[in-house]
């Protein structure tokens, strides 16, 4: 297998955390976004969306989207279980993970239209930024309730939901200087606990 990645992006970061929790080691290729490698014909043949991550499997398939890759790897490496062991557990974990994924999308929109780091990528619209921030806050409150109910985000053990939310919060706090969820006790406590895990290290 080979994982095509940009290691610091939240979508790749959650996959890296997941693999560390599972003890899965896959060779990686760092995609040169600055040089436009993700828009090259060779890369677009692997993923027409031109985005990372992309997993090349042993049988020559190309799987894009971090959630799909995690589910594929979960099928190959079921222990320790990180999506759940019963239909009910799996449904709950997937539901919480989708909220975390939606939060990533909303934060990306917020930062794209407000953060100086993205000022050169197009016209920034403060109205869009504020709307995205408010939408993000709604999801943070929902996730705070989940975080307060368990040792981890969706269960009493790590799941894919933890990987998705932690990747976002860690990137926001350490790379962008935006302390999202800092005023929410559930998320802050959860973040402090998960940050101590070896998988959380940059």
DSSP 8-state code for residue 37: G
pLDDT value of residue 195: 94
Quote the Cα angle for 68-113-35, to 5°. Answer: 60
pLDDT value of residue 55: 98
Reported pTM: 0.91
pLDDT value of residue 99: 96
Greatest CA separation for the chain: 47
Tens digit of each residue's pLDDT, the chain (202 residues) = 999 999 888 889 999 999 999 999 999 999 999 899 999 999 999 999 999 999 999 999 999 999 999 999 999 999 999 999 999 999 999 999 999 999 999 999 998 898 888 887 778 899 999 999 999 999 999 999 999 999 999 999 999 999 999 999 999 998 888 889 999 999 999 999 999 999 998 7
Which positions ≥6 away from 102 have C-beta within 8 Å?
Answer: 139
Which positions ≥6 away from 170 have C-beta within 8 Å?
Answer: 13, 191, 195, 200, 202
Determine which helix (DSSP H) or strand (DSSP E) holds 12, and give its type and residue range: helix 10-22
Contact, 3 vs 53, CB < 8 A?
A: yes
Which positions ≥6 away from 99 have C-beta within 8 Å?
Answer: 139, 142, 143, 146
Task: Report the alpha-carbon distance of residue 129 to residue 149 in Å, rounded.
Answer: 31
Annotate 156-175 with DSSP letters as a single string.
SS--HHHHHHHHHHHHIIII
């Amino acid at each position: 297998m080979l994982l095509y990645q940009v290691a610091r992006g939240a979508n790749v970061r959650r996959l890296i955390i997941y693999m560390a929790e599972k003890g899965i080691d896959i060779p990686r290729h760092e995609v040169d976004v600055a040089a436009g490698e993700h828009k090259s014909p060779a890369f677009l043949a692997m993923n027409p969306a031109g985005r990372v991550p992309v997993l090349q499997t042993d049988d020559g398939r190309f799987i894009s989207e971090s959630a799909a890759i995690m589910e594929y790897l979960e099928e190959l490496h079921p222990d320790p279980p990180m999506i759940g062991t019963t239909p009910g557990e799996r449904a709950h974990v997937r539901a919480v993970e989708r909220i975390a994924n939606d939060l990533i999308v909303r934060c990306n929109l917020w930062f794209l239209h407000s953060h100086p780091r993205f000022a050169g990528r197009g016209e920034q619209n403060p109205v869009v930024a504020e709307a995205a921030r408010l939408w993000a806050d709604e999801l943070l409150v929902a996730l705070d309730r989940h975080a307060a109910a368990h040792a981890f985000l969706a269960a009493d053990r790590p799941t894919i939901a933890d990987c998705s939310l932690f990747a976002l919060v860690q990137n926001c706090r350490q790379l962008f200087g935006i302390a999202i969820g800092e005023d929410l006790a559930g998320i802050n406590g959860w973040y402090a606990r998960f940050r101590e895990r070896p998988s959380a290290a940059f």
